[in-house]
Amino acid sequence: MKMTMRWFGEGNDRVSLEDIKQIPGVEGVVWSLHDVPAGEEWPMDKIKEVKAQADKHGFNIDVVESVNVHEDIKLGLPTRDQYIDNYIKTIEKLAKVGVKVICYNFMPVFDWTRTNLFEEMDDGSTALFFEKEKIENIDPIELVNSISENSAYTMPGWEPERLEHLADLFEQYKDVTEEDLWANLQYFLERIIPVAKENDIKMGIHPDDPPFSVFGLPRIITNKENLQRFLNLVDDPYNGLTLCSGSLGANPNNDVPDMVREFADRVHFAHIRNVKIYENGDFIETSHRTKDGSVDIYDVVRAYHEKGFNGYARPDHGRHIWGEECRPGYGLYDRGLGVMYLWGIWDSLERNEGKDNV
């Protein structure tokens, strides 16, 4: 397992590369060009700038999260080909600096949905929270305004240039079915996977977050059956998964360790985090510890170990603890604790490999 940490770039994050360097076992930073709008070709000078910054601290930049997919591609509009062409050019540029994995998603409008960025927990920490009833009864534009007012940061998937056209996007998606989305995804994959393979970059789609429809929008990367269907669209090792235990784990019917065991050879990037699901369908992001949430993180890590996983992983989101002011979901402290929890499980499995009492 190759441990990484997400980093939002110099001047765009309170977390520095110097901070990340002090977390044991972290080899690389997961990055993106957050100021480049979805659909545009990434400038080579900006890519090289990130590489130079990471090289200075001894980090690889093997994983990019994300090269966002333009909405016209998801909608299947005639303009999609020009945006796919730009995506292909970006893949080719990223290969030149050694990128090995690109994480992306195919979620309409929102990359993720929460109702509260700083829900207080019993121990005084705060975390991202999803209130099911609120989602069912709130106008999405009202939610966006509420979320934006409570964050000092531009958040991935909620970029202003995308959300300012929110009403138009919902109008465009009103007649788009799940089958339409599947067809548009296949079209995209058939264009990009041959290029990714030629450039030795593996594509890892991120599950929908949460893994069910919100605001009536179609969602398709949601469960084991759909993960298999996705992999069959273009059955090539370069077409794979970013398997997120927290996203998939928000549905209690999803057995995440089982998915790891089933698809490990096509998992190019592992997002490992925990969520606690309430009986009414609400959920909150917790510490990584199995005992604190609804996902058996121990068994998730054990499944990766059993399958000999040597791909990239990151602790994904964390709580906001010890008074830290940070980007929602991306506090340094709790993610650092998460790294050590994951390494603790992994090291114990390594130590006891072959013993019956593990």
Q: Decide if 86 contacts 106 (C-beta within 8 A).
A: no
pTM for the structure as a whole: 0.93
Instruction: Examine the residue annotation and report whether 317 is marked as an active-site residue of this protein.
Output: yes
Choosing from 70, 268, 271, 288, the catalytic residue is: 271
> How many Å apart are CA 196 and CA 93, to the nearest integer?
11
Mean pLDDT by 10 residues, the chain (358 residues): 95 88 97 94 98 97 96 97 98 98 94 90 95 86 67 55 74 94 98 98 97 93 98 98 98 98 98 97 96 97 97 96 92 97 97 69
pLDDT of residue 341: 98
Domains annotated on the chain, with CATH: 2-351 (3.20.20.150)
Provide the pLDDT for residue 138.
80
The conformation of residue 264, written as its DSSP 8-state character, comes to G
- Active-site hit among 206, 268, 305, 320: 206
CB-based contact 319:334 (threshold 8 Å): yes
Q: Is 173 an annotated catalytic residue?
A: no
Which two structure tokens, joined as six digits, stand for 147? 């979320």
Place of tokens 């499980």: 345
Residue 123 annotated in active site = no
Which residue of the set 104, 111, 244, 299 is catalytic?
Answer: 244
pLDDT of the residue at 140? 77
Residue holding tokens 């499944």? Answer: 303
Give me the pLDDT at residue 357, please: 53
Q: Which of 62, 111, 209, 316 is catalytic?
A: 316
Mapping DSSP to helix (H, G, I), strand (E, B) and coil, where does residue 197 land? helix
Per-residue confidence (pLDDT) for residue 242, from 0 to 100: 98
Per the residue annotation, which of 70, 268, 305, 317 is the catalytic one?
317
- Looking at residue 50, its amino acid is V
Contact 291, 262 (CB under 8 A): no
pLDDT at 129: 95
Q: Active-site residue 70, yes or no?
A: no
Single out the catalytic residue among 87, 304, 330, 341. 330
pLDDT attached to residue 150 = 57
The token duo for 299 is: 């068994």
Q: Residue 190 has what pLDDT?
A: 98
The upper half-sphere exposure of residue 141, i.e. CA atoms within 13 Å in the direction of its Cβ, equals 8
pLDDT at 157: 55
Q: Is 271 a catalytic residue?
A: yes
Residue 156: the pLDDT is 55
Q: What pLDDT is attached to residue 147?
A: 64
